[in-house]
Chains A and B, each alone.
Chain A
C-alpha cells in the first residue's frame, strides 16, 4: 500500500514517514499534485503556522478534492487537519480546503493553562463508531503540540480540552483528521495509523 505524503514545506516529514512504514505501508513524498495519482491514500502532515498552507495552491486543492470525490482516503495531521476546514484565524485571508465546515481558532489559555498545548492529553469519545479510534481504550492519551484548533462539529469523533474544548479526531466519510501526532503517540498512534491503512484498503 503506497501512501502519498504531501510535502508543502511545513515541517519535518521524517517522523510521519517512519510511522507510516511501521504501521505497514510504503509512504512516499509528493511535491506536485500529479504524484497523488500513484498513491493508494493521501496524508497531509504539517506543523507550524497556517501561513505555510499557502503553498497548497488552488491547483493542489482542486486535485485533492477530485481524489476525495473519487473515494480516496485522506488523513490530515495537525496543521494538515486544520487545513481541511474553511480556514483558520491564524491566517484569516487564507482559505482551507473546506471539506469540513467551520474555522479553526486560537486556544484560550490562562495562568494555569499554557498555550501552546504541548504534551500528552486524552481523547474523549464523542461518537461510538469512529473507524480511526476503533479498538482503542476509552480515553487514550496522545501527543499534541499546537496553538490553534478546530471546533467541535458533527464530524468530531473525539474532543479534548485545553482551555478550550476542541475537536481532536475527526472523520467525514473517507476524510480523517487528527490534531495530535499519531507518529509521536507511541502504540496508540501506531494503532490509529493502522486503522487508517485499513480504511484505505477497504472501499467503504
Chain B
C-alpha cells in the first residue's frame, strides 16, 4: 500500500492584485496574474497553493480579498492564505473569501492565544503558523514583521509552543536561504521537523530538483514551498515529481498529457 506523499506547494506573493517575488525580503519583481498562475499550477499538478499578501500597509486589503475569492473559485486543491492576518476578524474574512487554511506569523508571535482561538473555531487543520528563521551566532532566531524584528524565542521553542497551542502545520522559512536558490536549509528543517509532531513545510532556497529531494530526505520536511522557481517556469511540476519519484520519494502523480 502507498504512503502519504510529500507535498509541493506553490506560493504566490500578491501586492495590489498582482503576483510579485522578493529576494531576501528586499525588492520586488512582477510575475503575472494570480488566477492564471493558480489555474496553471493546479493543472500542472501542484499539491497546494498559498497566497500571501505582501502589501506593506493596510490599504487595498479589499483588493487582496477580491484576489482570494477569484483564486478560490478557480481551484479545487487546498488553498492557504496569509499575510496581514492580525486578528480573528481578519481570519474570518479570509475564510469567508474561500481559504481552506490561514497562515499567521507576526500576529501569532505577538498574541499566541490567537492560534488556539482559530484552532478551536476552525480546527487545527485550518491553522498554519509561519515562522521566519535566521542563523545568528549559535542560535536559530525567529524574526517577525517580514524579517525585521527579532523575537526573544528561538525557533525550536517557538515551534513547540505553536504546536502546543493548536497549530496544524508549521511553515518554516529560512531567511538566509530565501531567494538565493542555493537549497533549503536542511539543518534548520530537520531540527524543527524532528522536534514537532505536526507537518513542517520547508520554505526558502529552492533552486534545483536536488534541493527538493534533499529537503524531503535529509531535511525531513513533509512539504516544500517555492515561489519564483515555479513562476518563471524554471521547473515543470511534472518533471520535478518524476525526479522525486525516481528517487523513491512518494509524490502524488502529476497529470500526464
Min distance, Cβ B240 to any Cβ of chain A, angstroms: 15
- Chain B residues with Cβ below 8 Å from A162 are 3-4
Instruction: Indicate if the CB atoms of A186 and B76 lie closer than 8 Å.
Output: yes
Min distance, Cβ B48 to any Cβ of chain A, angstroms: 9
A22 in the interface (beta carbon within 8 A): yes
Min distance, Cβ B30 to any Cβ of chain A, angstroms: 28
B78 in the interface (beta carbon within 8 A): yes
Instruction: Indicate if the CB atoms of A160 and B77 lie closer than 8 Å.
Output: no
Instruction: Indicate if the CB atoms of A116 and B168 lie closer than 8 Å.
Output: yes
- Chain A residues with Cβ below 8 Å from B222 are 114, 118-119
Instruction: Indicate if the CB atoms of B96 and A139 lie closer than 8 Å.
Output: no
Interface centre among A11, A165, A185 (most CB of B within 10 A): A11
CA distance A141 to B251 in the complex (A): 9
Partner of A11, one of B4, B6, B7, B122: B122
Q: How many A-B residue pairs have CB under 8 A?
A: 95
Min distance, Cβ A28 to any Cβ of chain B, angstroms: 18
B214 in the interface (beta carbon within 8 A): no
Partner of B1, one of A18, A114, A119, A165: A165
CA distance A117 to B4 in the complex (A): 8
Q: Contacts A11-B123, A48-B123, A114-B197 known; A119 to B76 CB distance under 8 Å?
A: no
B253 in the interface (beta carbon within 8 A): yes
A120 in the interface (beta carbon within 8 A): yes
Instruction: Indicate if the CB atoms of B76 and A19 lie closer than 8 Å.
Output: yes
- Give the number of chain A interface residues (Cβ < 8 Å): 39
Instruction: Indicate if the CB atoms of A159 and B1 lie closer than 8 Å.
Output: yes
CA distance A14 to B73 in the complex (A): 10
Min distance, Cβ A152 to any Cβ of chain B, angstroms: 12
Specify the chain A residue showing the minimal Cβ separation from B196.
A114
Min distance, Cβ A45 to any Cβ of chain B, angstroms: 12
Q: Contacts A114-B222, A121-B3 known; A47 to B76 CB distance under 8 Å?
A: no
Partner of A22, one of B4, B76, B123: B76
Partner of B4, one of A12, A120, A183, A189: A120
Instruction: Indicate if the CB atoms of A47 and B123 lie closer than 8 Å.
Output: yes
Min distance, Cβ B221 to any Cβ of chain A, angstroms: 11
Q: Contacts A12-B95, A186-B42 known; A119 to B199 CB distance under 8 Å?
A: yes
Instruction: Give the residues from 3 to 25 in chain B that come closer than 8 angstroms, CB to CB, to chain A.
Output: 3-7
Min distance, Cβ B235 to any Cβ of chain A, angstroms: 19
Instruction: Give the residues from 114 to 159 in chain B that come closer than 8 angstroms, CB to CB, to chain A.
Output: 122-126
Instruction: Give the residues from 33 to 78 in chain A that come closer than 8 angstroms, CB to CB, to chain B.
Output: 47-49
Write the A159-198 contact mask toward B (1 if CB under 8 angstroms, else 0).
1111001000000000000000001111101100000000
B185 in the interface (beta carbon within 8 A): no
Instruction: Indicate if the CB atoms of B122 and A12 lie closer than 8 Å.
Output: yes
Instruction: Indicate if the CB atoms of A115 and B100 lie closer than 8 Å.
Output: no
B32 in the interface (beta carbon within 8 A): no
Q: List 20 A-B contacts (CB under 8 A).
A: A12-B100, A14-B98, A18-B72, A18-B73, A18-B76, A18-B98, A22-B76, A47-B123, A49-B123, A116-B125, A118-B169, A118-B199, A119-B4, A119-B7, A119-B222, A121-B5, A122-B2, A162-B4, A165-B1, A187-B76
The 10 closest A-B pairs by CB, nearest first: A48-B123, A141-B252, A120-B252, A122-B2, A145-B125, A161-B1, A120-B5, A47-B123, A121-B4, A124-B1
A residues adjacent to B (C-beta < 8 A): 11-12, 14-15, 18-19, 22, 47-49, 109, 113-122, 124, 139, 141, 143, 145-146, 159-162, 165, 183-187, 189-190
